[in-house]
Structures are given as C-alpha cells and as structure tokens.
Amino acid sequence: MPVVALKPYQGEVKDRQENFHGNQLLYVGWEDHLMFCAPLCFMLPPDLRFGDLPEQILPGAYGAHPDWARVDWSEARWFRSGRPWQPDFDKTLAENGLGHKEVLRFQTPGLTGIAGSCS
C-alpha cells in the first residue's frame, strides 16, 4: 500500500552514505528462514569482493541456523530489490552495481528452515 506524506519531511537524514566513513549499508535476507524475520543490515566497504559476503560476513550472522552448514552457494538464487539477480562473486559490491541501502535476498533450494517449517 503506498504511503502519502501529509507534509514534507523536515530534518537531517542520519543514514546518508557520507555518515558511514567510506562504507555503505547492505541489507541481506535469507528466504524461507523466518528465524531471521527481516533482512539483516551490514555496514560494508564498497570495494568488498562479493564472494567475501557469503564466505566471511554472512556466517557470523546466519551460521547458528542448522541449515547454514548445508548451503550450496553454487545453487543459491539471489534477488535484488525483489527481482532475480546474478552476482559476480569475483567483483566488488560496487562493481556488481550495489549501492548504499541496497536490498538483497538469497534462496537456498532444498533448505526450508527447521524441519521444513521455514523457521
């Protein structure tokens, strides 16, 4: 449902990229794993190699889930702002076209949460 502002927004926007010391915010969500009910937000440098995201960053956030050890990244499906998307794991976030406050989700075929409950 669209939202219509009753009056113009007034105030300082605190989450501008300039406020993150050269980093940017990247939201990442894991489909069919509602133990994590919303995408998680990471503050990352734009020159981070995309392949480092699943190898070094995401395990600290999602690694406690029992499905995590069975994730096959070659089978994972990625979505950028809700649309299917294929990242280049050898390129940086910036080279993949990912900007500040971008939203990614990934789906891991065959893994649907604890006992198939999507949790």
Domain containing 82 — which CATH number? 3.10.20.560
Residue 9's pLDDT is what?
Answer: 78
CA quadruple 76, 82, 84, 85: dihedral sign: negative
Q: Is residue 105 part of a domain?
A: yes
The continuous run of DSSP H or E covering 44 comes out as strand 40-44
Q: Could you list the residue range(s) of the whole structural domain that residue 27 is in?
A: 22-116
Report how many helices (DSSP H) and strands (DSSP E) the chain contains, helices first.
Answer: 2, 5
Burial of 26 (0-12, 13-18, 19+ CB in 10 A): buried
Q: What is the mean pLDDT of residues 49-59?
A: 98
In-domain check, residue 9: no
Mean pLDDT of 79-97: 97
Residue 3 has pLDDT above 80, yes or no: no
pLDDT confidence of residue 6: 87
| Range of lowest pLDDT (2-11, 28-37, 52-61) | 2-11
Q: What is the mean predicted confidence (pLDDT) over 18-36?
A: 95
Residue 57 DSSP code: I
Domain count, the chain: 1
